Structure 1
Amino acid sequence: MQDHYTPTGKHLTIADRRLIERWKQEGKSNREIAGLLGKAPQTINNEMKRGLVLQQVRKGKFEKLYRADRAQEVYEINRKNSRKAVSLTKKVKETIVHYIKLKWSPEMISKRKVNVPQSTIYYWMDKGYLGLTKADRLYPRKGKSPKKTASPNFMPVGKSIEERPEAITQRLEAGHYEIDTVVQTRAKAPCFLTLTDRKTRYEIIRYLPSKTAQAVNEALSSILQEYQITSITADNGAEFARLSEIFSEEKIYYAHPYCSWERGSNENHNRLIRRFLPKGKTRATRKLATQIEWWINNYPKRILNYKTPREIVFSG
């Protein structure tokens, strides 16, 4: 393990480079210089390449030597070329605002709609150049809640996720879904049943009149008539305790308690749903479920090389 590292934004200065030049003339190694400056050895290695110049050391003999002035000159040129000026034109502004209102993230807008870095879009939002504020971000930052742990006497309602075949875990084929519910409030109220294909990230959303095992099974029975579902990975909520009544018990796997990352694809999609159904808002309807399902399946994803789940499913 290295003893030193170069913190983000802490670039070498001309003073650092003059010290490097002097120490190299004294015969110090790159690693020794890294230790003296508190930098990573690779930083010094890169710096040496940047500042090499061919000089005559005696008649008829030339050597490549490190020179601080040359290194500083190359550094300044590289810094200038690395920053491409981006103008906020009326057309760019209108495009960004349009897709922000359609619940697109700055990353997807940057990748699919405008030739502007996502960091620049965030900067424009923060500075008010787009007429938007931090409050318009899709996920306002919140404080961390205490971590929950399962009871030592906990018993899963079915087969553990540990028994799930490797082919499902590795996402080698479509048809293996993660399932969950997205609620509105703590009170008994309508909610959404969500299923996400682990491989294609294709999403299925159904409106539930209540968060009960009976409502889940009725909706899932209808889904099974439309879609080929090979396996289901669920959490240990009571609403999923009776899945085996309508689906093969051998193909149902239950994640560990409070381990939402074991159903990561579904959880990420639930997060997308929150763009339209924030917690505490009682607006769940069948029409909204259909609209959100269409939106998610036509929304580009980084994991799919910025293609949409619909493009992946129907291109094959």
Structure 2
Amino acid sequence: MQNNYTTKGKHLTIHDRRYIERWNKEGKSNREIARLLGRAPQTINNEIKRGQVLQQVRKGLFKYVYSADVAQANYEKNRKRSVKKLILTKEMKDKILHYHHENYSPEMMVKAKNIEAGVTTIYYWIHNGHLGLTRKDMLYPRRRKTIGKQASPNFKPAGKSIEERPEEINLRLENGNYEIDTVVLSKAKNKCLLVMTDRRSRHQIIRLIPDKTAQSVNQALKQILKEHQILSITADNGGEFNQLSAVFPEEHIYYAHPYSSWERGTNENHNRLIRRWLPKGTKETTPKEVAFIENWINNYPKKCLDYKSPKEFLSGG
């Protein structure tokens, strides 16, 4: 037996209860039983109270004693009662499938669209086929871990390092500081997306560009700067971003370390939202479809914004 308390939340087993019954009959105190089982004394006190049954000692004499079997039966009965069974009605199923087709995650269905079910419950229904969905229908099917790449020791960034970025940008204290990236639609050398994400509000700007070149990026960025107030840009060291200083002040451009996508985590997370609509291998899209996706993301609730959308956040809603 143990001489220390077990961690909180570990339930007594039928074997524990049989020890309690035996030692209780032998006259051991609740505190001593607790020490032998490695439990808190109050746990044993509560257990003996819950497991008492009226038993006849001899003719005409009854007294309450602790019964391991009765205690176990009461425990199992209470466990079943503690789990509220939620019935998947046709109305709820249709509602969940509607938001699934709108590319809402289960968490957003519950937190932002008031689906009256738990997030884990919805995942349970998905994994067990209750919604008619498969693993392929999941927004982010689990993938195998890949081996991380490392940069050459002689590597030089295209401009100012992210290490020089001011704290007000790092701490997301103001709107207008954007991370920039490109999203390739297919392996073929054709159109791709230029994506900019505001670090604070998560406001998204998406433009369809002819190819993944510095010239195409700068041409699109010129137009974006006419429409939006951009205070700073954080980019990776891809060749398409090594000429940003031709259209944007060099002192406000910061470059992340190579193979460090987490340094532009806001960008990367929002690229996943784009992939809900344009998965890898997409051969064709249109400016109209891209505008729809941009609008959808800017109206999509975010946990980090207390389940407000970027549009609501910027409007003070």
Of all paired residues, the percent bearing the same amino acid is 55
How far apart are 1:204 and its partner, in Å? 0.8
1:157-306 alignment runs, 5 A limit: 157-306=158-307
Structure 1 vs Structure 2 CA RMSD: 3.1
Q: Residue 265 of structure 2 aligns to a residue in which SS?
A: helix
Deviates more, 1:257-266 or 1:25-34: 25-34
Q: In the TM superposition, what whole-angstrom CA distance separates every residue of 1:277-314 from its partner, at most 9, and x where no partner exists?
A: 11112123212211111111111111112111111011
Q: With structure 1 as the length reference, what TM-score do the two structures score? A: 0.82
Tell me, in whole angstroms, the C-alpha distance in 2 between the residues paired with 1:134 and 1:250: 46
Opposite residue 120 of structure 1, the aligned amino acid is T
How far apart are 1:16 and its partner, in Å? 2.4
The 8 Å contact of residues 186 and 282 in structure 2, kept in 1 or not, is answered as: yes
Q: Residue 129 of structure 1 aligns to a residue in which SS?
A: coil
Opposite residue 177 of structure 1, the aligned amino acid is Y
The 8 Å contact of residues 30 and 44 in structure 2, kept in 1 or not, is answered as: no
Q: Residue in 1 aligned with 2:89? A: 89
Q: Residue 162 of structure 1 aligns to a residue in which SS?
A: helix
1:48-63 alignment runs, 5 A limit: 51=47
The 8 Å contact of residues 47 and 71 in structure 1, kept in 2 or not, is answered as: no
Gaps of 5+ in 1: 35-40, 55-66
C-alpha distance 152-192 of structure 1, shift in aligned 2 (>3 A): same
The 8 Å contact of residues 16 and 37 in structure 2, kept in 1 or not, is answered as: no
How far apart are 1:19 and its partner, in Å? 4.3
Q: In the TM superposition, what whole-angstrom CA distance separates every residue of 1:228-286 from its partner, at most 9, and x where no partner exists?
A: 11111111111110111111111111111111111111100001111111111212321
Gaps of 5+ in 2: 51-65
Q: Residue in 2 aligned with 1:25? A: 29
Residues paired across the two proteins, number: 293
C-alpha distance 153-26 of structure 1, shift in aligned 2 (>3 A): same
Q: Residue in 2 aligned with 1:38? A: none
The 8 Å contact of residues 191 and 284 in structure 1, kept in 2 or not, is answered as: no
The 8 Å contact of residues 50 and 74 in structure 1, kept in 2 or not, is answered as: no
C-alpha distance 71-197 of structure 1, shift in aligned 2 (>3 A): farther
1:63-212 alignment runs, 5 A limit: 79-80=79-80, 82-111=82-111, 112-212=113-213
How far apart are 1:186 and its partner, in Å? 2.7
Tell me, in whole angstroms, the C-alpha distance in 1 between the residues paired with 2:256 and 2:124: 39
C-alpha distance 76-242 of structure 1, shift in aligned 2 (>3 A): same
Q: In the TM superposition, what whole-angstrom CA distance separates every residue of 1:194-230 from its partner, at most 9, and x where no partner exists?
A: 1111111111111111111111111111111111111
How far apart are 1:189 and its partner, in Å? 1.3
Tell me, in whole angstroms, the C-alpha distance in 2 between the residues paired with 1:91 and 1:291: 28
Opposite residue 93 of structure 1, the aligned amino acid is K
Opposite residue 90 of structure 2, the aligned amino acid is K
Tell me, in whole angstroms, the C-alpha distance in 2 between the residues paired with 1:72 and 1:192: 61
Tell me, in whole angstroms, the C-alpha distance in 1 between the residues paired with 2:42 and 2:8: 16
C-alpha distance 256-31 of structure 1, shift in aligned 2 (>3 A): farther
C-alpha distance 161-14 of structure 1, shift in aligned 2 (>3 A): same
Q: In the TM superposition, what whole-angstrom CA distance separates every residue of 1:149-186 from its partner, at most 9, and x where no partner exists?
A: 11111110111111111111111111111110100123
C-alpha distance 259-98 of structure 1, shift in aligned 2 (>3 A): same
Q: Residue 120 of structure 2 aligns to a residue in which SS?
A: helix
Opposite residue 105 of structure 1, the aligned amino acid is S
Opposite residue 231 of structure 1, the aligned amino acid is S
C-alpha distance 268-29 of structure 1, shift in aligned 2 (>3 A): farther
Q: Residue 179 of structure 1 aligns to a residue in which SS?
A: strand
